[in-house]
Structure 1
């Protein structure tokens, strides 16, 4: 039942991620443009150029902050990562049949594999 719930949650997160792929790309482009504007601002010599780069940077920053859907896509991507990690953890926990609290059981298993 747990795997089914993880599958359904993963499917929903994947749909949200795919639906918000466009805004996520726009967010990445706007963050890159902010980086370029900042570099050009630092290179500018005159006050007029610095003011121009600041105005352009504020305009791009407003585009960046308007992408709330991209943030939802990032949250969905992080949710997919957590679901994948939980799925893998369940897979590994099923393979161990020995008592994990006894340190000698693990030692005996490792010693037996070394002696093969």
Structure 2
């Protein structure tokens, strides 16, 4: 029970960190998407003017991505929430598979009868 309380506390903290960094996370996703498109177009174009324009767009997108570095905390919070979710399920399975726990439950039932 104590482990679940600890997992719940860490999960709540991770959720708060995720929500506080949600704006920068969205900004980073958008800027990385623009950077990806700009890099693809930069490599595909043959004209010098096109390369300059796509290079400038790529530079601005890279600047936006760097400005949204707090989004990394949001990504870490997402990973922590994922790990907690997996541990929560494992803990429930361990309790169900433990033969001593099942024996104690059956013993208590026999005592009551």
| TM class, shorter-length | 0.7 to 0.9
Cα distance in 1 for partners of 2:14, 2:71 equals 13
Cα distance in 2 for partners of 1:54, 1:92 equals 53
Q: Count the aligned residue pairs.
A: 99
More helix as a share of residues: 2
Equivalent residue runs for 1:29-68 within 5 Å: 29-68=30-69
Gaps of 5+ in 2: 101-113
Q: Per-residue displacement from partner, 1:56-112 (whole Å, max 9, x unpaired)?
A: 20111011012121110010000000111111110111111349xxxxxxxxxxxxx
Gaps of 5+ in 1: 100-116
Cα distance in 2 for partners of 1:26, 1:6 equals 29
CA RMSD of aligned residues (A): 1.4
Please, what TM-score do these two structures have when normalized by structure 1?
0.79
Cα distance in 2 for partners of 1:38, 1:18 equals 30
Please, what TM-score do these two structures have when normalized by structure 2?
0.81
